[in-house]
Amino acid sequence: MLHKSINGADDRYNVVVIGSGLGGLTSANRLARSGHSVLLLEHHHQLGGLATWFKRKGHIFDVSLHGFPHGMVKTCRKYWNRDIMESIVQLKNIVFDNPQFSLTTTFDRQDFTSILVNRFKISQATINDFFNTVASMNFYDDQSMSTRELFEKFFPGRDDVHRLLMEPITYANGSTLDDPAITYGIVFSNFMNKGVFTFRGGTDHLIGMMAKELVDNGVNICKNSKVDRIVIEAGKVRGVLVGDRFIEADSVVSNSGILNTIYDLAGKEFFPVEFLDKVKTVRVNTSSCQVYIGIKKEESIADIGDLLFVSTAEKFSSDELLDMHTRSRTFSLYYPKTRPDHNRYTVVASMNGKFDDWNRLNTNEYESEKQDMIDRTLVDLERYIPDVRQKIDWLEAATPKTIHRYTLHTKGTSFGTKFEGLDISRSIFKAIPGLFHVGSVGIIMSGWLGAINYGVIVANDVDGYIRSI
């Protein structure tokens, strides 16, 4: 049952899931399918978390539907349903344009190999060795090597190659050259498998299909329901508080940020000191800025590619990408083929961003920086669509503060935490029996594919726990 508020919920469940990001939705679905009673609580009026969309003047803007790896096909078939799987389609024109190179690619191993051999003059043997090395990286590997060291090992001094290999992954999971190479290798290899994919019909269509399946599987869903507290008694989970409404549960799965879960929802007084010492080392990942551009109903734009990684910065640097005034951005182009029933064109520009840069501004400075960001974005877009300004009838910007407001995540993080957060998320139930965490952590478990797969892993843990009590 889909309820508008907490009033529709029962008093007791096997599992309460806090938050309806892709991780929370997937855990809820798996647990309901396994026969458990599940309540899903979402503070927002819309499900999906960062997998979200909004409507303005007849436009539908997708916030995080820019591209995911082919692995989503299998994941959606196995853990959701065939209709969802069948809506996944490839984005074939991925464009790079920067002072070091301009090219179009399908962003898969075969095409990248040919580009690296023919344009960048790298030997076939080195490329094979590099691809095989990153493809064999796994979670249990030694994590001491950084991505910078990995690139220097295979392509010493070739910052043009580093840029080609790294720029899209920085946008895809917020990782930098100084993060462990594994956070790069796993995501990069996932994409190189078969390229970049999207969801035909848009995010609204996907989340609608997921909500239907949840309801069919018996999940109770309450929107506009912010959990204020996870109730812990005698060292284990008893339920949650939404305002003054207590709901009892054998277990709680929090899809809220890992630090929000520990500090704000559970309360640090309930955790062992050694666990908290580890929590203190967790760094949240960076956030994002976006500019949403709506094209008038009667206008169209030429096909300039699906995903454009553009930059006027001479060299690639993680700091430049994160700078408030970065000269690098990704344009996601949404042609009518994205939503075949909705004959409109939109463009979304995405930049990485830091919460503190935006949070320190007063109201006037904040509005003015947002306007400057929109202006810089249009100057860039005009290089690809010269007459675009006359075609636009909607412009709007989002900053890390916007992401924070909608998801409540610490510092508006787009991709959870750095690598050390994964261990905390995976071991939280050992500190407090019955308390589980799902959602973006450790860079690997983020992005649409990572979040859904992590949802499955956590659902298995919860299922085992409930059966053992």
Q: Beta-carbon neighbour count of residue 139 at 10 Å?
A: 11
Phi and psi at residue 367, to the nearest 5°: -65, -40
d(CA 272, CA 428): 11
Token pair listed for 164: 């080609």
Which is nearest to 438 in space by CA: 13, 14, 16?
A: 16
Using the minimum distance from each CB to ligand FAD, give the nearer residue, 127 or 449: 449
Q: Which helix (H) or strand (E) holds 71?
A: helix 71-79
Shortest spacing between CB 123 and ligand FAD, in angstroms: 32
Under a CB-based contact definition with an 8 Å cutoff, are residues 116 and 204 in contact?
Answer: no
| Cβ proximity to ligand FAD, 183 vs 414, nearer residue | 414
> What b/e readout covers 236-252, taking b as 16+ CB neighbours within 10 angstroms?
ebbbbebeeeebebbbb
Q: Which residue is nearest to ligand FAD (CB)?
A: 21
Closer to ligand FAD by Cβ: residue 439 or 442: 439
Of the pair 124, 460, the CB lying nearest ligand FAD is at 460
Closest distance to ligand FAD from the beta carbon of 302 (Å):
23
CB nearer to ligand FAD: give 155 or 191: 191
Using the minimum distance from each CB to ligand FAD, give the nearer residue, 268 or 389. Answer: 268
Q: Report, in Å, the least distance between residue 406 CB and ligand FAD.
A: 6
Residue 192 CA neighbour count, 13 Å, CB half: 25
Nearer of residues 116 and 416 to ligand FAD, judged by Cβ? 416
Q: Which residues pair with 87 in a beta bridge?
A: none
Positive or negative torsion for Cα 70, 167, 25, 137: positive
Burial 312-333 (b: 16+ CB within 10 A, else e): ebeebbbebbbbeebbbbbbbb
Least CB distance to ligand FAD at residue 49 (A): 2
Among 34, 174, 11, 97, residue whose Cα is nearest residue 381: 97
Q: Nearest approach, Cβ of 144 to ligand FAD (angstroms)?
A: 26
Give least dist CB 398 to ligand FAD, A: 8
Q: How far is the CB of 105 from ligand FAD (least distance, A)?
A: 17
- Provide the minimum distance between the beta carbon of 125 and ligand FAD in the complex, in angstroms, as a whole number: 32
Residue 345 CB, shortest distance to ligand FAD, in Å, is 19
Nearer CB in complex with ligand FAD: 207/466 = 207
Comparison of 284 and 301: residue with beta carbon closer to ligand FAD: 284
HEC string of 238-295?
Answer: EEEEECCEEEEEEEEEECCCHHHHHHHHHCHHHCCHHHHHHHCCCCECCEEEEEEEEE
Distance CA 165, CA 188 (A): 8
The whole-angstrom separation of Cα 76 and Cα 339 is 19
Nearer to ligand FAD, 51 or 214 (CB): 51
> Min. distance of Cβ 267 from ligand FAD in angstroms?
13
Cα 363 from chain centre: 28
Q: Footprint of ligand FAD on this chain (CB under 6 A)?
A: 18-24, 41-44, 49-51, 63-64, 66-68, 226-227, 255-256, 288, 290, 350, 403, 407-408, 414-415, 439-440, 446-449, 451
Is the dihedral angle over the CA atoms 220, 236, 24, 351 positive or is it negative? positive
Output the smallest distance, CB 53 to ligand FAD, in A. Answer: 12
CA distance 382 to 389: 8
Kindly compute the dihedral angle of the four CA atoms of residues 441, 443, 444, 450, in this order, to the nearest 10 degrees: 70
Which H or E element spans position 236?
strand 236-242
Give the nearer residue to ligand FAD in terms of CB position, either 15 or 122.
15
